Amino acid sequence: MLAAGLLVTGLGACANSDTGGDAGTGGEDKLVLGFSQVGAESGWRTANTTSVKEAAGEAGIELKFDDAQQKQENQIKAIRNFIQQKVDVIAFSPVVESGWDTVLKEAKDAGIPVILTDRAVDSADKSLYKTFLGSDFVKEGRLAGEWLVEETKSATGPVNIVELQGTTGSAPANDRKKGFGEAIAANPNLKIIASQSGDFTRAGGKAVMEQFLKANPKIDVLFAHNDDMGLGALEAITAAGKVPGKDIKIITVDAVKDGMQALADGKFNFIAECSPLLGPQLMDLAKKVHAGEEVPPRIETEETTFTQQTAKEALPTRKY
């Protein structure tokens, strides 16, 4: 259904927010988009939420926003609420890859198009959603690994790597691990000696890095699946009397401002970018699928990589 007035709201308010027509100020019907966000676990996620909310406002779309607090059951509940409220389009960023078929089928049966944004699902039936807008996480992991292969090409002995994985079962954790692992296979000296989830949070990164440092006397490299875990790990490394960026080289993914600052300061060594600025493209897609237009099944975000030098150059104009 179409409703009047821009509204950014949590689910509690959603039930009362459907005006069902042009009762608002503009007198113009607005597309209603139900959006289920993963949570607020990282700087990336905060920037993504801001991008979605701002873009909805600019596109004149009524946004029903729900924060799932990193729980799949909350996302399923939110999607069912959106279906019940007969929103025009549903978009969500799935916290994990598996377990979505039933609820996606419910949306399809209700005639509500679904857009995946940021993260993918592993459903075999691709007709359950219209498109997937987001990064190539395998490529991000591969770029991180390729940088390390080049950086360590003259190493004559083992290079010990520890890995801080993202949320267990999430597409970025699965894919970045895969891409990185495939890339470092090019140099048999590169060995992942420990790998554990830090759930994409600073606190998780710090706690797991503390354990890694206690259990492993020689750590040469940290690969963290996002900046926030890398930033948490920095604290643990410093507290252990080691110099981040020198004693332990740090590679991360995202390139949010705090991560870029750490890179420019020489505490990180390399970042593969993952852009959170998906809002404008998402709104465009929502309008198209609502109008019944064909959209490409996969839309990949354009991204780059940063070294310490390029981070210094990019920081002053960095948007997030």
Interface positions with ligand AHR (CB under 6 A): 41-42, 44-45, 118-119, 172, 200, 226, 228, 253-254, 274
By the 8 A CB rule, do 105 and 97 touch?
A: no
Nearer to ligand AHR, 75 or 226 (CB): 226
Least Å from the CB of residue 40 to ligand AHR: 9
Q: Which residues contact 314 (CB under 8 A, 6 or more apart)?
A: 260, 306
Which tokens sit at 244?
């981040």
Nearer to ligand AHR, 88 or 118 (CB): 118
Nearer to ligand AHR, 232 or 245 (CB): 232
Give the Cα separation of 46 and 280 in Å (integer).
16
Least Å from the CB of residue 172 to ligand AHR: 4
Give the Cα separation of 155 and 152 in Å (integer).
5
Residue 16: phi and psi, rounded to 5, are -100, 5
Token pair 């099944």: residue: 297
Three-state secondary structure call for residue 259: helix
Least Å from the CB of residue 26 to ligand AHR: 34
Nearer to ligand AHR, 88 or 199 (CB): 199
Nearer to ligand AHR, 163 or 228 (CB): 228
C-alpha R_g of the chain: 21
44 closest CA partner among 242, 275, 235:
275
By the 8 A CB rule, do 286 and 256 touch?
A: no
Least Å from the CB of residue 144 to ligand AHR: 12
Least Å from the CB of residue 44 to ligand AHR: 3
Least Å from the CB of residue 163 to ligand AHR: 14
Nearer to ligand AHR, 103 or 274 (CB): 274
Give the Cα separation of 81 and 258 in Å (integer).
36
Give the Cα separation of 95 and 292 in Å (integer).
27
DSSP-H helix ranges across 131-200: 137-151, 171-184
By the 8 A CB rule, do 231 and 202 touch?
A: yes
Least Å from the CB of residue 13 to ligand AHR: 25
Nearer to ligand AHR, 159 or 253 (CB): 253
Least Å from the CB of residue 29 to ligand AHR: 33
Nearer to ligand AHR, 119 or 267 (CB): 119
Give the Cα separation of 113 and 140 in Å (integer).
29
Which tokens sit at 71?
């729980």
